[in-house]
Structure 1
């Protein structure tokens, strides 16, 4: 049994004030939550929140990357395009995919997850189905732009949505569980493409067209179901009782998520994100793994194919690579929650990725290169949920967090426009240029992770020394500095400053 009072767990010294810990921020103090069983409640929340999000992201990743499988079944020849045109069609996807993500997250907060996420899914499912009836280069480019537009909001939206349900120490494992569906999609896409290709000639359509049509129609069906399946935020979720909703909000506020009880939109929160140096460091970190991620998902079958395997064999040989990535992603997610040192994990994972691509550049042995693909998968995929949890847990204020995550993810995704062009047909079978560019991305991610770690440690030290203390009316604090803000109460300071509040401790 457990209950939360809404009081800060930090002592007077850590708060930088000489008074009792604040108690005026209790969410709905008239509600008694002492009878709530936390473990049972969290298991129920996990079942209602995480699995369906995993299904959505599986379909998102599957639909986005299926063009890589279709390419192996003569897509280029049948619609009369060159390899350069194919790469350009992949590239245009990323511009709308990246640019609309911050706006999409704000709309998610305004229209509720059940409506906004389902709407996005319905749109991209229809666009995906239309891929099966395109017949020229213009049609392909148009559909890839529209697909990027509708798919843009799902990933940052889900990440933000999950961060509104769980404490910082619970976030990594949940993000890893939902994100592991991306690895399942990578494995499943190869099996599915190999099976669907057997429909070649049915209805007068080639096998690659049926890959798009069947996957798109299934996405549309799941989108319709999502309007009823997706839950909204904790303070309004229908599957919780009133007491349970209060319990969850208080629990989040205890974890320094002060906006958990609801927050009205202010343009100030957007500017807070834009002015925060952490946002810009996170953007570099996300570029470091998103560039490699998109290259990996789009070209793994092609890379294996050029190592001497047939198209179907290459699709099938990509399956165990993704299965391994799924296992590692989940293990790292739970381990990160347990040890709490996400910065060190990030450095280790990016380092592993650097080793894998050095091997790919140097290798002239298909077996060694295939092993390096496994090593790359076990580095790239688990880095993403670990980084998401790290950035999210150090950004307070629901709107600020939504904008920060969307900007970081959006900029990371924009780099897919680069990495989708680096594996050129003229460089086969070893693709040294492509591997070298991905190696550079991983190095950027490692450096940004190191900078992020030292910046957070520096800020924690400053807060502990009282250098970030704000003036609170009626509180005697010799360290208080008007330059850090002046507030009527500690509660006001927490709400207005978010993670910049002197009592907020960053997680390393």
Structure 2
């Protein structure tokens, strides 16, 4: 029997005999397209694997992308509403707009770990649509708010209902895709947030033309977005499969192949029951704190651009309607750059260098925009907003992918993601308090602070990447030869770096 091993990050095929690993003897057929010796497994039929991935792509990614698009719309529409004087219509005083931005992150961070754990216990396919229905409802209820107190309460509940959404989607995708396939799929999903920001600008452009109505024009944003979110949540509840083994669109042979793909190159134990004590052991690994520190550095640029891009572009002295329209192109370019970097990252099987590149884009964009004379350099200033969007989307996706690639234990993966992603979003507290009315319209202190976080993030990601390269070489020297991470199935790597065969996914 001719056995071939599929490289999960490329289309190349190699003979396992060339790998010279201790798991290559006694191979037998274990199922369609799979060969195994009990400890390891290789996909034999590369075409069957590609067909399986295409099914996952067509059946899962469009629905998840739409869910995240609505999530991003419901979270980030306040910036558009403010350009149509929402704060004055609701009689906000002083920094009350910044307060309702900030208060969102308290339940968002505190609620993420327990809700993510419930998602692991009951399944993301059930919990994700329920969360979506909740944040759609709270968005719709925003129409009923008549003052600061009403908006404050709604933002608290909105933050709680959105807290575990992105971490659960990341975990959900890791149960369908191998490590070298994850970044580009997650990028396609995450690009929906850029498209959402662009669509929100277009929607605001149209809605703010509504006149002669008893409702403020900005309230129609919340009516449209909240209603569509709730209706799509109902569809998603009945559509999403619990896991690959129960997916109605797969036959029995494809289900076996899907299980073995994840067992060999994603999870140590597929669909492992959640154990809190065991999962919390992720905090015994020093690299956990490095990943979380990078998330903190990522959060400020990410939230500054997401929440305040309309205000940044307003410095160019366009009208309210035109300002919202001019947010579209930078956000679309951010989605394109995200896809370019994510596909390249999967192709090269490297995460760290592309995260550094993304941070660098943000740093340069902020540094250009802060001191510039927009009257005489308006085109350069507008180009800088493109660089801001290039540098926020890609690091968010690739960083989440990076630490998920390096944590084979499903429970620990959920815990780290449920801490890391909300921690980045918690930095919205920093963003919402540095973009103050007193520093408008130039926001130079805010732009400088954001640039500093971007530079620090690039430095930390670069240092962590260098450490992983060094540690892999150290482990190879101890073994006596270079070991490729694709040689070792993830089912043997449950305890992470403490296992001698463990190699970092760079």
- The answer, yes or no, to whether TM exceeds 0.5 is yes
Which one of the candidate residues 208, 211, 229 is aligned to 2:218? 208
| Map of 1:23 onto structure 2 | 37
| Map of 2:428 onto structure 1 | 416
| Map of 1:358 onto structure 2 | 367
| Map of 1:220 onto structure 2 | 230
- 1:449 shift after superposition: 0.5
CA distance in structure 2 between the aligned counterparts of 1:292 and 1:199, rounded to whole angstroms: 33
| Map of 1:480 onto structure 2 | none
Q: Which runs of 5+ in 1 are unaligned?
A: 469-489
When normalised by structure 2's length, the TM-score is 0.88
Distance 1:406 1:191, change over 3 A: same
1:308-365: CA deviation from partner (whole Å, max 9, x where unpaired): 1111000001111111111111111111111122211112221222111111222122
Contact 1:284–1:412 (CA<8 Å) still a contact in 2? no
- 1:102 shift after superposition: 2.0
* Residues 31-70 of structure 1: pairs in structure 2 closer than 5 A: 37-70=48-81
| Map of 2:405 onto structure 1 | 393
3-state SS of the aligned residue for 2:185? helix
Contact 2:294–2:461 (CA<8 Å) still a contact in 1? yes
Distance 1:162 1:208, change over 3 A: same
* Residues 372-387 of structure 1: pairs in structure 2 closer than 5 A: 372-387=384-399
- 1:267 shift after superposition: 2.6
* Residues 323-338 of structure 1: pairs in structure 2 closer than 5 A: 323-338=332-347
Contact 1:281–1:451 (CA<8 Å) still a contact in 2? no
- 1:33 shift after superposition: 8.6
CA distance in structure 1 between the aligned counterparts of 2:18 and 2:289, rounded to whole angstroms: 32
CA distance in structure 1 between the aligned counterparts of 2:291 and 2:260, rounded to whole angstroms: 28
CA distance in structure 2 between the aligned counterparts of 1:242 and 1:11, rounded to whole angstroms: 31
Distance 1:100 1:2, change over 3 A: farther
Shift >4 Å, 4+ stretches: 1-5, 8-15, 17-22, 32-36, 490-493
* Residues 87-486 of structure 1: pairs in structure 2 closer than 5 A: 87-202=98-213, 204-255=214-265, 257-260=267-270, 262-365=271-374, 366-466=378-478
1:374-414: CA deviation from partner (whole Å, max 9, x where unpaired): 11111111222122222211111111111111111121111
1:77-124: CA deviation from partner (whole Å, max 9, x where unpaired): 111102400001100001111222222222111111221000000100
Residues matched between the structures, number: 479
- 1:493 shift after superposition: 8.6
CA distance in structure 1 between the aligned counterparts of 2:3 and 2:194, rounded to whole angstroms: 36
Contact 1:256–1:396 (CA<8 Å) still a contact in 2? yes
CA distance in structure 2 between the aligned counterparts of 1:437 and 1:263, rounded to whole angstroms: 42
Q: Which runs of 5+ in 2 are unaligned?
A: 7-14, 28-35, 481-487
3-state SS of the aligned residue for 1:198? coil
Contact 1:360–1:372 (CA<8 Å) still a contact in 2? yes
CA distance in structure 2 between the aligned counterparts of 1:464 and 1:35, rounded to whole angstroms: 29
- Structure 1 range deviating more: 186-195 or 99-108: 99-108
Contact 2:25–2:37 (CA<8 Å) still a contact in 1? no
Contact 1:76–1:83 (CA<8 Å) still a contact in 2? no
3-state SS of the aligned residue for 2:248? coil
CA distance in structure 2 between the aligned counterparts of 1:335 and 1:44, rounded to whole angstroms: 22
- 1:306 shift after superposition: 2.6
CA distance in structure 1 between the aligned counterparts of 2:447 and 2:21, rounded to whole angstroms: 47
Distance 1:224 1:342, change over 3 A: same
When normalised by structure 1's length, the TM-score is 0.88
- 1:35 shift after superposition: 10
CA distance in structure 1 between the aligned counterparts of 2:342 and 2:105, rounded to whole angstroms: 27
Provide the alpha-carbon RMSD of the alignment: 2.9
- 1:193 shift after superposition: 1.1
CA distance in structure 2 between the aligned counterparts of 1:433 and 1:10, rounded to whole angstroms: 59
CA distance in structure 2 between the aligned counterparts of 1:465 and 1:13, rounded to whole angstroms: 16
Contact 1:291–1:419 (CA<8 Å) still a contact in 2? yes
